[in-house]
Chain A
Amino acid sequence: MTAVVEEATEPRALASEMPAGRTTGWWGMVMFVTTEATVFAALLGSYFYIRFQSGQWPPPGIEDPKLTKVVIMTALLLPSSVPVMWAERGIRKGQRWRLRAGLTITLVLGLGFLAMQAWEYSEDLKKHTLTTDAYSSLFYTITGFHGFHVAVGLLMVGWLLAASLRGSFGYRRHERVRLTAIYWHFVDLVWVAIFLSLYLSPRL
C-alpha cells in the first residue's frame, strides 16, 4: 500500500492533465443544485398546502391560468438543454465552434422564454397582482423566482460564451462548461414541475 501511494504521489505521476473521477467542482454544483431544488420543493409544497386548505382554486374571481403562451414557453425552454449538451459534447472533442454555436442557440431560446414570460405577466397583471390574494402571491413568487433562475442561467451561459470566444476552453479544459450545463438542465427541469403544478393541475 505504502509503495502504491508513494508511486502515485510522485510529482510526475500527478502531472496528468485530466483528473480522474468526479471533480470537486462537479460535486459542488450538484450539491448547490440539490439545495436549490429543495427551495423549489418548499415553494411548491407551500402552494399545495394553501391550495388544499382552500375551497375553490384558483379563488373566485381569478380564472385558470391560460395555457397558450405557457406551452410556447415550455416549447422554448425544454429543448434549450439539447444545444448545451451538444456544445458540451463538442468541447470534449475540442470543437470550439460547437461550443459557441450551442451556447448561442441556448441563449436565444432562454431569452425567448423570458420575453414570453414578460408578455404573459403584462396580461396577468391586469387581472391580479402579488397583493390580490394568497393564490396570486404564490403564483407570482414561484414563477418569478424561476424566471430569476433562468436569468441567472442566461448570465452564466452568456459569460461562458464570452470566455469561449476568447478561447479558454478545449478538450483539456472545459469544467466550467460542464458545471453551467448542470445548472441549466436544473433550471429546465424545475420548469416542468412548475408547469405541471401551477398551470396544468388547476385544470384537473
Chain B
Amino acid sequence: MSVSTEPAKLDQLEQEWGERPSLHSWFSTVDHKRIGRRYMVTAGIFFIIAGLDAMIMRTQLARPNATVLSPEEYDQLFTMHGTAMIFLFSTPMFFGFGNFLVPLMIGARDMAFPRLNAFGYWVFAFAGIVMFSSQLVGKAPDGGWFGYVPLTDKPYSSGINLDVYSLGLLFLGVSTTIGAINFIVTALKMRAPGMSLNRVPLFVWAIVATSFMVIFALPALNVANAMLFLDRRFGAHFFDPAHGGNTLLWQHLFWIFGHPDVYIIVMPALGIVSAVLPAFCRRGVVAYPLLVLSIVTISIISFGVWVHHMFATGLPQLSYSFFSAASTLITIPSGIQIFAWLATMLRGRIVVRTPFLFLVGFIVTFVLGGFTGVMFAITAFDQQVTDSYFVVAHFHYVLFGGAVFPMLAGIYFWLPKITGKMYAERLSRWAFWLIFLGFNTTFFPMHISGLLGMPRRIYSYPGDLGWDVWNLISTIGAYILAAGLLLVLIGVIHAVRRGAPAEDDPWGGDTLEWGTASPPPPYNFAVVPPVHGLHPMWDERTTTALATGKVLEGHQAMTTSELDGQVEGTIEMPEESLLPLAAALAILVVVLGLLWSWYWMAGVGALFVFGTVARWLWPPERSPEEAGVA
C-alpha cells in the first residue's frame, strides 16, 4: 500500500486531479499551483509597467527644468506608480506566493475554496487591466496613491480619472477579501494531521495574520472609495465641508486601512524571510514562539497607529501623543523578529547562495527604513519633513527593502519547486549586487534632497536649490536598479527555458513543500503527510510516511481540527469550472457600466452576477435517502 509499490494508485490520482493542457482548462482551472503562478506572473507584469512609470519620472527629474513630461502626465505617472505598486503588485504577488505555498506547506491538496480562488485571480487580473488601460488613454488616476480630498473630489478633479481609481480599487477589493478568507480557512481546516498551531510554518502564520488584517482593514478603504464615488458621481457630500461633510474623514478612513496595509505588504515578506533562512543557516529559526507572538502583535498594533500619517493635519495634541507612542511601540515586535533572524545566523552554519544574499540585503535596507520610521513616529520631526523626499526615501526603504528583497529571495528559493528548474547562480549574484547597489544609490540620496527641502510629487524643480546632484545620483541609481531587475527576469526566463532540472529538495528545506516532486503533481501529496514537529522534512517519521504511507485516494482532501490538527474527515474537492471566470466577467460588466455611467449595463451585469453565483452554488438534486429525510 505504499507509494513505491502502488503506481496504479498514483495513475488514478493523476487522472482525477490532472488537467489536460487545453484552452478550456486554461480558463477553468482551479489548481492552486496554476493560480498561484498566474498571480505571480500577472503581478510581475504589473510591476514592470509600474516600474517603467518610475523610470520615466526619474528621467524627468534627472536634471532641473526638464521637459520630458508635462505636469499632468507626471501626476498620472506618480499616482499610477504608487497605486499599482501597492495594490496591483505587492499584495497580489504575495497572494501568489501564498496560493502556491500555503497548501504545500501545510500538506494539503488545494486551498479550502479552489473555485473562489480562481474567481479571485480573475477579478484581480480584470481590475488591473481596467486601471492600467486608463493610462493608455491618458485618463489614469492623478490624485496621488492616497487620493486626498478635496483635490480628488469635484469640482477640483473633473474627468473620469478618479472614478477609475475608486471603482478600480473597489473591484480589486473583492479579490483581496476573498483571497484573505480563503487563506484563513485553508490554514485553519486543511492542515496535515498533527500540525497543531505551534507547528505551523512561520510563512503560513504570516499569511494568516496578513489575511486577518485584510479582513478588518480593507472595509475602511472600500467605504472611503464608495463615498468618494458617490460624492463625485451622484453629488453626495461626505467630504464637502460646505455641506456639513469633512475632508479629514477621508484621511482617517484611508489610513485606518493604509497603515495596516503597510504590514499587509511587509508581513508576508517577513514570513518569506523566516521560511528561507533555515535552509541557509542549517537550523530552525530561533525563538519560534516569540516570532509568532510578534506577528500577531504587529497585526494588532498596526490598527492603532494610523494618525501618524496625519501629524500635519492639526488634530489635537493629545491624539498625537497616543499615536506617537503606539508607533514607537510597534518597533518592539519588529525588532524581535530582526534579532531572531540575526541570532539564527549567529547560531547556524551559513551557506551563502543568492536567496541568502537577498535576505541580508533585506535586513540592511529594512533596518534603515525602520530607523527613519522611528524618526517619523516623533511628531516634531514628522512635521518638519512631511511631504518631502525624506518620506519617499523612507517608504521605499521599507517597501522595496522590506517587501521586494524578500520577494526576490523567495523567487530564487522556490523557483526550483515552482518550475522544476534551477536558476544560474552567477547571473543571479550579479542581479543581487546590481539591485543592492542600484537601490541604495536611488533612494539614499532622497533622504538628503528631502532634508534640503525638496517636496515630493513635484514634476520639475529650478536649478539653484542644491537638489541637482542628489537627483542626478538618484536617477543613475534607478537605471542600475532597473538593470539588476532585468537580470532577475532574464534569470527566471533562462531557468524556465534552459535551467538544469531541479531536485525535489535542492536546499534541504524543513517545510513540507520540499516533500513532494518539483514541480509538484496536481494532487500535491499522494500520502497525506503526518506531522510530528516544527520541521517535518527534518523528521524521519514524516519523510518515511511520505514514501511508504497509505495513499489518500480520490478527488479528496483531508480536514483537521483548527487548533490541534486532529483528523476530522475528508471532503470532496470541487472540479474545474468556468463559473469563476463568468462571475468575474459579470462583475467587470458592472464596474465598466458604473465607470461609463451606463447604469443599465451595470444592472444587466448585476443580474449576471446573481445568475452565475446562483448556478455556482446550486445544490445537486438528491434522493430523500441521500439527503436524509425523516
Contact = CB atoms under 8 A, between A and B. Distances in A.
Interface of A: 1-2, 5-6, 8-11, 14, 16, 19-24, 27-28, 31-32, 34-36, 38-39, 41-43, 46, 49-50, 53-54, 59, 93-96, 130-138, 141, 155, 159, 163, 166-174, 176
Most chain B beta carbons < 10 A, residue from A2, A20, A36, A134: A134
10 contacts: A28-B113, A39-B223, A46-B227, A50-B238, A50-B244, A141-B230, A167-B624, A167-B627, A170-B622, A176-B619
Contacts of B553: 11
A95 B569 contact: no
Interface stretch (B37-45, B401-409, B544-552): B544-552
A9 B528 contact: yes
Nearest to B542: A2
B219 A39 contact: yes
A173 B627 contact: yes
A95 B630 CA distance: 6
A169 B619 contact: yes
A37 B618 CA distance: 26
A68 B215 CA distance: 36
Nearest to A58: B244
Contacts of A50: 238, 244-246, 249
Q: Interface residues of B toward A: which range? A: 35 or more
B628 A170 contact: yes
Interface in B589-630: 610, 614, 617-622, 624, 626-630
Contacts of A31: 180-181, 184-185, 215
Nearest to B111: A24
Interface in B550-593: 550, 552-554, 556, 558-559, 561-562, 567-571
Interface of B: 112-113, 116, 177, 180-182, 184-185, 188-190, 193-194, 215-216, 218-220, 222-223, 226-227, 230-231, 234-238, 240, 243-246, 249, 252-253, 256, 528, 530, 532, 541, 545, 549-550, 552-554, 556, 558-559, 561-562, 567-571, 610, 614, 617-622, 624, 626-630
Contacts, number: 198
A141 B236 contact: yes
Contacts of B624: 167, 170
A23 B189 CA distance: 8
A88 B597 CA distance: 42
Contact of B246 (A16, A39, A49): A49
Contacts of B567: 5, 8-9
A159 to B, nearest CB: 6
Given A21-B561, A24-B113, A133 B237 contact: yes
Given A38-B215, A49-B252, A134-B237, A21 B568 contact: yes
B225 to A, nearest CB: 11
A35 B177 contact: yes
B532 A1 contact: yes
A175 to B, nearest CB: 9
A137 B621 CA distance: 45
Contacts of B189: 22-24, 27
A22 B562 contact: yes
Most chain B beta carbons < 10 A, residue from A2, A16, A94: A2
B618 A24 contact: no
A9 B568 CA distance: 10
B2 to A, nearest CB: 11
Contacts of B216: 34-35, 38
B569 A24 contact: no
A19 B246 contact: no
Contacts of A43: 223
Given A9-B193, A173-B619, A42 B220 contact: yes
B193 A155 contact: no
Nearest to B211: A31
Contacts of B627: 167-174
A187 to B, nearest CB: 16
A42 B252 CA distance: 10
B614 to A, nearest CB: 6
